[in-house]
Every structure is written in structure tokens, then in C-alpha cells.
Chain A
Amino acid sequence: MGRRDDESFVEFVAARGDALLRTAALMCGARQDAEDILQTALEKAYRHWGRLETGMDPEPYVRKILVNLVISRSRRWKVLREIHMARLPETPAASPNHAVELRGTLMEELRKLGPRQRAVLVLRFWEDLSEAETAQALGCSVGTVKSQASRGLARLRERLDRNLAPLGR
């Protein structure tokens, strides 16, 4: 089995760069941070790119690096979280487009979740990974993924009910 070369890295980034950036943006909440984290993750992958077998798909490997980076950076760098938490709660107001309002609130609440819980929801519902694949990307058990996803959704539902109640939803 051969090893991957530089050219295959370029092809991989060209093909999967957008998807990885979107995943990173959803997981860390800010576009600038997402680009920086994606570059860091790709650089880490590039360091060991030659060791990857040509037959295997490198995306789970890169995604795992990305998820670990997002989680560890969120834990370490609390400023990001504090900025989000420091925002004043938006005053619910009647909107002609309730669906748009709902999704905006959903994303706000998603950002307020813990990094690990947020990563589980992004991987499960954005990347459409199975519970086993999500567990592999996060380096935890399937049971943990199930519980984190369940708690994350419950928290979102609870907060949505509280925020959207004045709108009559």
C-alpha cells in the first residue's frame, strides 16, 4: 500500500475544504476562528500526510483533529465563550417570519452549549455521521454520544420554548 503525496493533499483540500470549514464554523461559532482552526487542523494533518495509506479516506482523520482542536481551544480560550455569553439577551419581538426567527434563536442557543455537546450536535445533524462515527471522531463511547446529543437537544428545546413563548409559538 502506497503513501499519500503532496498532490493528494492539495486535491483533498480542494474537494473537502468548504465542508470542513462549515463544520468548523458551526462548531466554534465564529467564521474567523473557524478559518484559523481549519488551517491549524490541516497543517497538523499535512505533517503526517505521508504516513496515511492511499486506500483510506483521510477525512475522518482530519475531522477528528478539527473536533479536538475546537474542543480544546474552547476550553482553553474562554474569551470566545464569554463574548457569546456576555451578549444581552435579545428581546423577543413579533416577527413576520417565524421560521427565520426560530432558526436564528436555534443557532444562538447552539453556540451557548458546551463545546463537546455542540460538536456532537454538529457532527450528528450537520455532518450526518452515525453515532459510532461521531463517537470515533470525538474519541468517546457511543453511549456518551447518545447522552450528549439527547441532553443538547433537550437544552435547545427548553431554551427555545422559553425564548419563543412570548411570540406565541
Chain B
Amino acid sequence: MDLESELRKAMAEQVAEASASPSLVDDVKHRHRRRKARVHAAAGVAAASVAALALVPTYQSFRATPAGNSETSRPTSSVSAFRLPERPSAPGSPESPSSQGKPGAEAPSKPGAHPSGGGREPRNPGLGGAVGKLPGWITYLPEGLASTGPCATTGDAQRKTVTCGWRGKSGWVEIALVKGGGLSPKDLLKTPGIPGRTSVRGTPALIGDRPDSGRQISWLARPGVGVTVTAAGDAKNRLMRIAEGVRP
């Protein structure tokens, strides 16, 4: 018996009637389209997951990072995504996230009322413990500073500036919050010479020395919202820490 030829005949008999379906090409293309759709859906889900993982810590960094945190790096999803939301634990921050401390709320809307920066009741805002109640968007000031008065609001409808000042034996601090379109750190910085580059919590910032021995740092907290912090005296050494505590 020739096994090989018998095997050939057996195979031929076995598949003699087998023929491909007339719709084979269409079936293959349909399968291909389904696979592509599955791949695209999976990619979309993956992208959405990555975006969600990146957004959560970013959101938390806006409202939850404690004042005075010396970290200036931008929060990353790999580390911060699983971090519990931290409350603004720094002294000087408002008890509730009401509009009391929001930028713009410092304007003396009620003539008789004490503005938030007015220093009605002695408290210990910031780790250093400046005297007076701070606006909610400022979470740190060095020790021994007292408010120079209510935060002043200037400008027009297109660009509004809220300026708050503190003064003490150790120097003085001025924080200006600018809201308006077309802002850049260069517009905010009012120092002569070429400014240096730095970052505030991962956001690019410009820093420069003023003629009056003060030092100034400016950055865009987000599009349309710029911050300038000026400090002189001993407070100058705490400039970065003050800047990191500004959360507009």
C-alpha cells in the first residue's frame, strides 16, 4: 500500500465539495472594519483614561496642595492620581471655600465692612503668621507682616487688577492679581533689565530685581489670570514660597 498516494486521495475526497463562500471577501472586509472599530474604541477609552488620570491631580493641585509646599514641579498623574485630596491646611486660608476669599471679592463692596485684607482680627495667616485676615487665594505670608489696607481693585472691564499689600519690620510684600485677555508674564513684570526664568508650581515664571531692592516674580496662573508678587527686605528671601501660596 502506498500510504502517500492513499493519503492524497483521502484528502482530495475529504475536501472535494469544499468551496469558499461567495461572500468571503465581504466577510473579510466586514471583519476588518469591526476590528478597526474595536481598536479605535479601545484607543479612545485609553486616551480618556489617561486624560482623566491627568486631570484629577491637576484639579487637586489647584485647590488642595498645602500652602508653603516647596515643590514647584507640575503634578504628574503617576504620583498624584492616588493622593487623597488635601485640604488647604495652611493657616490664613478661609474656613470655607465661599466667595469671601475669591479674587475680586476683596473690593470694598460694602463701605462699612472690613475687606478681607483689612486686618480686622489678628490671625496667623501663612506659616509665618502675618497679622490680618488674608484673601482666600493667598495662603502664605511671612511672619510679622500686617496689611496696609483693603485690597485695591483698579482697571476697566477688559483688565482688572486686584492689589494687596503687607508691611512689617521684616519688609513688605505686594501681590497683584491681573485678570484680562492677552496677558503674558512680560506684561506683568515691572523690573528693569532682562528677567530671569523660573517656575511656580511647574508654571513658567519671570523673576527680576527692582531698583528699590525689591524682587518681583510674575506668571500666568491660567489663561487670562496673571499674578505678580513683589517682596522686599527679609520677605524677599521668601518670595518663592509666597508665590507658591498664591492660588487664584
Contacts and interface: CB of A to CB of B under 8 A. Distances in A.
Contact residues of B: prevailing secondary structure: helix
Interface size class of A (residues with CB under 8 A): 35 or more
Nearest to A29: B14
A38 B7 contact: no
B11 interface: yes
Contacts of B20: 13, 17-18, 20-21, 35, 38
Contacts, number: 82
Nearest to A35: B21
A42 B21 contact: no
B25 A10 contact: yes
B168 to A, nearest CB: 71
Nearest to A26: B11
Interface stretch (A85-93, A119-127, A129-137, A139-147): A119-127
Given A26-B11, A40-B31, A107-B10, A156 B24 contact: no
B32 A47 contact: yes
Contacts of B11: 26, 107, 110, 122, 125-126
Interface string B5-32: 0111111111100111100110111011
B241 to A, nearest CB: 57
Interface of A: 9-10, 13-14, 17-18, 20-22, 25-26, 31, 34-35, 38-40, 42-43, 46-47, 102-104, 106-107, 110, 121-122, 125-126, 153, 156-157, 160, 169
Interface of B: 1, 3-4, 6-15, 18-21, 24-25, 27-29, 31-32, 35
8 contacts: A21-B15, A21-B19, A22-B15, A26-B11, A35-B20, A39-B24, A43-B31, A153-B7
